[in-house]
Structure 1
Amino acid sequence: MNVRDCIKDLRRVRAGELLPHPLNWRTHPERQRVAMAAALGELGYADALVARELPDGSLQLIDGHLRAELTPDAVVPVLVVDLDEAEAQKLLATHDPLAALAGVDRGALASLLENVDTQSDELQSLFDVLAEQANPTGVDVPANLPDLDIPETYQVVVDCADEAEQQQVYQAMREEGRKCRVLTL
């Protein structure tokens, strides 16, 4: 596969001079803003923002809007890309969603989080959420468990208006000879 390198330059630019893309569709809830500010405070910039150069020489952001907004007076690393407006929109539409498609190796995440230390309550809260994703049940499962052979089953879940209707459906199914059980979620 022949892949085009569209990176023209790496520049250091005051974040407040970068123009937000008018079609930026990402929103940043307070929880994310607080965690990003904490990460920038502890680590600084470890990744470049992405922008394209407009005809007047100004730089229009494609990626990094939140970081630029949180640190408007900081001089930040910016990858300047050679993209026209249509290509910039395509990158804006795909950059974050492609990253979000990545899976989670729960064991690797758990090992990583065991070794990460922070003084920030905001980052610790983020790590706690990640740890929950690594072990959503809260049960420690040994790595050497044998594979289980779970036979296929076919089930139906029926939503009922209340407990009385649930009991009526249950009784009707039992009278038909169905094997069933009552669940309340």
Structure 2
Amino acid sequence: MITCPYCATELVEQNGNAYCDFCDISFGPESEWGMWAEDGIRVPGKQMKGFITAEHAEKSVKELVKYHTYDLLVCLRLAREERTKAYDLLKTFNKAIDQGGIEFTEDAAAQGKVYEYWTKRCWVLENILMDRMGYFPERITDDMLIKMQERSLRAQLRRMAISRERRKAKNI
């Protein structure tokens, strides 16, 4: 049985297309909404990449918006780590300059640009998350990421089905 991937309404295929009255969407090979589902299976959605590095955080905004929210959170965590490293090194150069080491001026300027770069990368990721989730987390912990990954996988496996049979009341 073919169904709407958003609401699980049973669909009728006509000439390679199907229309959902409930969602007011047409599905098919040419549809912007893609194909219909089978037996109430959910929309596949964005897939997790599995292995994320700081290089992923450097992708363009056009690429990043295609990432799964989990992957964006990992990217933000890594970008924040890179920004912290850049800031710590910048502080070290500035202390050396303050103590008379003017030969570190160029290094400090270069490191300042690295810090600015990673700060902007963080802002990009935070704003994509704001757009998607309505907020971005102040801290991203291993526990938070593990729970999010588990919830995401559970949600993808959960079929959309309405029980049409009346349930018997439990005796107390």
When normalised by structure 1's length, the TM-score is: 0.22
When normalised by structure 2's length, the TM-score is: 0.23
Greater strand percent: which structure? 1
- Structure having greater relative contact order (Cα 8 Å, sep ≥ 6): 1
